[in-house]
């Protein structure tokens, strides 16, 4: 949903949808913090959320979420090696 709203330029709805997705995924990660799929999904959500924040002019906040996504990506890459 968040990606759809972002494509439609409804950034506030995109932000809200991605926040819901983050909350849901965080609950999944609580059950298994090392699950590859949950971590991968988390990275993707954080990246999209960062993009929405950037488009809303919230560059500093966007950078924080992008850094979290990159941290997860590095963890995933390390797990694959």
Contact 18, 2 (CB under 8 A): yes
- 28 burial type by CB count under 10 A (0-12 exposed, 13-18 middle, 19+ buried): middle
Using a pLDDT cut of 70, give the percent of the chain over it: 90
Mean residue pLDDT across the chain: 90
For tokens 């990606």, what's the residue? 3
Distance CA 9, CA 56 (A): 10
- Give the chain's domains with CATH numbers: 2-80 (1.25.40)
Distance CA 28, CA 12 (A): 25
Per-residue model confidence as pLDDT tens digits over 6-29: 555 789 988 999 999 999 999 999
């Amino acid at each position: 949903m968040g990606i759809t709203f972002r494509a439609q330029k409804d950034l506030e709805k995109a932000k809200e949808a991605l926040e819901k997705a983050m909350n849901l995924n965080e609950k999944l990660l609580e059950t298994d913090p090392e699950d590859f799929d949950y971590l991968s999904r988390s990275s993707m959500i954080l990246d999209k959320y960062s993009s929405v924040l950037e488009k809303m002019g919230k560059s500093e906040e966007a950078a924080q979420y992008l850094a979290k996504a990159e941290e997860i990506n590095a963890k995933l890459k390390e797990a694959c090696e």
